[in-house]
Amino acid sequence: MNRDLGEYFAIMGIKDCEYYSLEEVLERVKTSNIRFNRDVMRNVFLSIKPTHIDKCSGKQIKDNYLKRRWELQTMLDTCFREFEALEQLRQQAENNLRRYENVASKYDQEESKLMIQVVSLDLQKEMNLEVGYKVHLECQDQVIETQWKRYQHDKKCVFWNELFSFEIERKFATEANILDIILLDSRSNLQLGGCNVILDELADQRKHELRKEIYSNTDEVVIGSLLISCQWLYSRHILYKSYVREFKQKRDQKMEDLNTYQNELACLDEPFLPKSNNLSLYSYLSSVPDYLANKLDNSLTQFKINGPEVLYKYVIFISFLLQWIASATRSCYLDSLTTCYIFWCNLGNEGFASSRWTNNGFKFILYSIFISLIIDIFWMNIFFPAWSVSSEEGDLRNFSKVFTFFNFVWKIILFFIIWKSRNDFIKFQQYDEALLRKNKHGNLSLQNHLNY
């Protein structure tokens, strides 16, 4: 690739030791007819620290082009590993949620537990480092205390790392929903200072690591800072659902990053790929749905409705609404059956992991929409001219005309949504199979190791 890049730069007249402005580089790219992406070349140029005012040497541009490609490949590999890890965490969270939902009387078994880990205490210089300290914890009339600990000079803090739990009532926005923390002195067992934690701030049920300042009881001066971690578990059902939602959002974000890196890497590699000269009319026509589906996917991503669970709720609602209004003066049986089939496939919260979604199912929906569009064209061609004749039913017919046209346009959009979803489903299946093969390979390796 380095040799090919040097040859391309020589064809464009870009020499290693000469300096060029951004406009000169883009103009040479344009006139050379080499398939360099202008936006990519602009980003490569702008990422260079110029040694001359607004100019870079040909060698700098070439080296930075190769450097950017190596960076993208590294980021792509890292992003894919992170995507795999998030997908496994999401599947594990869904399995935990599914197992929990299958337990009988699960809501009667909910318990409210506050877990506190007292880690360490950093003292101010004026504090006595020779005495012992302990932490007094109090919440809803329950009291727990740590052991007496002295200042450790090697760790430069008072170190406990002790874990406690409170069985508390599930109350929100009340005075009882506070954890009081008090620092005690071993010599006189007097209260030196304290702080508190409002449990409502832990309502997301996540583990929070907090650094709380301890204020003196006498003059409200900070005498130290306490490092603790807190987690309030009051509903495993809500917790598991939040984990599923979080891992899914992070996975979708990683998928967007993967697509971004892949697209930019493809633009960098495009000049070095063999140019196909035998593209037929069928190849161009078959690429049109993919192009439009990708544009549609970008729009759906901006509105955050590109996931199958959310997207098809809107699809089903809009489809039924338009069909029921249009059916006031004509039959929409095929449209309604197609929408009902989409509704059946989308039942549950499993997305493409549901066994209802299949490649043949997507093809069936696409064929149904295509046939429905042909029927609409024939129907509009026959009835619209006939309905132009004035009659007592003119207003109703005009109303039906409008919503028949709206329904027709919506089905064109729906066709590309299904086309895009079918492509996503195929990618999902390929990834799922690759992940399954990887897990099987890992299990076999582990089994061989155990047998050995």
- Going from the N-terminus, what domains does the chain have, and what CATH number goes with each? 1-109+236-275 (no CATH), 111-234 (2.60.40.150), 277-445 (no CATH)
Residue 350's pLDDT band (cuts 50, 70, 90): low
Q: Are 120 and 146 in contact (CB under 8 A)?
A: no
Separation CA 390–CA 393 (nearest Å): 8
pLDDT at 445 over 50: no
Section 31-47 average pLDDT:
79
CA atoms within 13 A on the CB side of 360: 2
Q: How confident is the model at residue 446 (pLDDT cuts 50, 70, 90)?
A: very low
Share of the chain above pLDDT 90, in %: 0
- The answer to whether the beta carbons of residues 143 and 166 sit under 8 Å apart is no
Query: Backbone dihedral region of 146: left (phi > 0), alpha (psi from -120 to 50 degrees) or beta?
Result: beta
Q: 4: helix, coil or strand? A: helix
- Whether 134 has a pLDDT exceeding 70, the answer reads yes
Other beta carbons less than 10 A from residue 177's beta carbon: 22
Taking the C-alpha atoms of residue 182 and residue 138, their distance in angstroms, rounded to an integer, is: 8
C-beta pairs of 99-104 under 8 Å, 24+ apart in sequence: 100/236, 100/237, 100/240, 101/237
Q: Residues 274-318: pLDDT tens digits?
A: 655 554 555 555 566 666 666 666 666 666 666 666 777 888 888
**Percent of the chain at pLDDT exceeding 70:** 75
Separation CA 310–CA 252 (nearest Å): 13
What residues contact 47, with CB distance under 8 A and at least 6 apart? 64, 68
* Helix, coil or strand: residue 47: coil
In this structure, are residues 60 and 235 in contact, taking their beta carbons and an 8 Å threshold? no
Burial of 112 (0-12, 13-18, 19+ CB in 10 A): middle
pLDDT at 387 (0 to 100) = 60
Amino acid found at 152: Q
291 vs 160, residue with greater confidence: 160
Give the distance, in angstroms, between the CA of residue 219 and the centroid of all CA atoms in the same chain.
Answer: 49
Q: Please give the C-alpha separations between residue 446 and each of 92, 439, 442, 450, in angstroms, as whole numbers.
A: 20, 10, 6, 6
Could you read off the pLDDT of 174-229 as tens digits, one per residue? 666 788 888 888 777 788 888 888 888 888 888 888 888 888 877 778 888 889 89
**Which 8-state DSSP code applies to residue 155?**
T
Most confidently predicted of 2-6, 34-38, 391-395, 440-444: 34-38
Instruction: Name the DSSP class of 274.
Output: P
Which among 106, 118, 122, 112 is positioned nearest to 156, based on CA atoms?
A: 122
What is the distance between the alpha carbons of residues 71 and 67, in angstroms, rounded to a whole number?
6
With beta carbons less than 8 A apart as the criterion, state whether 229 and 209 touch: yes
Per-residue pLDDT, averaged over 353-377, amounts to: 84
C-alpha neighbours within 13 Å on the C-beta side of residue 93: 22
pTM over 0.75: no
User: Do residues 149 and 159 make contact, with C-beta atoms less than 8 angstroms apart?
Assistant: yes
8-state DSSP, 8: H
More confident site: 69 or 445: 69
- Span of 104-118, 218-232, 369-383 with lowest mean pLDDT: 104-118
Q: How far is CA 261 from CA 68, 106, 287, 430, 452, in A?
A: 11, 44, 22, 19, 42
DSSP state of 55: B
- Decide: helix, strand or coil at residue 278: coil
Average pLDDT, the chain: 76
Distance separating alpha carbons of residues 90 and 84, to the nearest angstrom: 10
Amino acid in the structure at residue 197 = V
pLDDT of residue 54: 77
389 vs 39, more confident: 39
Distance between terminal CA atoms of the chain? 44
Alpha helices in 270-307 (DSSP H): 281-302
Among 23-27, 416-420, 448-452, the minimum mean pLDDT is found in: 448-452
